[in-house]
Amino acid sequence: QVQLVESGGGSVQAGGSLRLSCAAFGYFYGSHCMGWFRQTLGQEREGVAIISSDGRTSYADSVMGRFTISQDNAKRTLYLEMNSLKPEDSAMYYCAADSGQTGIFVLHPWAFAYWGQGTQVTVSS
C-alpha cells in the first residue's frame, strides 16, 4: 500500500548541486528507516545514504561530506541534498523504505522493502 515517488533529478555540470525529493503515498505509518540508492548500467544497486525514524544517518564513503540526507515526517518526504557533484555520481537514484518492523540499520538494498521508480542524475565534466 506504500508508493514512493522521486523527483529533482536532472543534468548538472561537475561541482554543481541538486536536491532530490521522495514523497510517500498510501499507508506509511510507524517508524521506517529510509534511504537513497543509485545504479548505473551494468552495475549493482549501491547504497548512498540512509536515515532512521529518529534521525540517525549513515553515508557511503564516496559521498561523505558532499551529500546530506534528511526527512520531514509530517510531510512524509525524504530529501537528498547533493553538493560538489562529480561525473561518477551520475546514476539512476532510487528512494527506499524498510518494512518498519525489523529495526535494522544497514546501508544495503536487501534491508529495504519499498522502492520508488527512480530519478536520473547526470553530471557532466
- Residue type present at position 115: W
Write the CA distances from 55 to 50, 72, 75, integer angstroms: 9, 10, 15
Instruction: Report the pLDDT value the prediction gives residue 15, as an integer from 0 to 100.
Output: 98
pLDDT at 36: 98
Q: Exposed (0-12), middle (13-18) or buried (19+): which is 74, by Cβ within 10 Å? A: exposed
- Report phi then psi at 64, rounded to 5: -55, 130
Predicted pLDDT at 66: 98
pLDDT of residue 28: 74
Give me the pLDDT at residue 27, please. 76
Residue from 124, 52, 45, 58 nearest 92 by CA: 45
Q: What is the pLDDT of residue 97?
A: 94
pLDDT at 2: 87
Q: Which of 72, 90, 77, 57 is nearest to 5 (CA)?
A: 77
User: Which residue in the block uniquely carries the three cell numbers 515517488?
Assistant: 5
pLDDT score, position 73: 83
Contact 82, 6 (CB under 8 A): no
Count of CB atoms situated within 10 Å of the CB of 16: 14
Q: What was the pLDDT predicted at 47?
A: 98
Query: Mind listing the pLDDT tens digit for each residue in 58-69?
Result: 999 999 999 999
Q: What is the pLDDT of residue 37?
A: 98
- Those residues of the chain that have pLDDT short of 70 are none
| Amino acid making up residue 35 | G
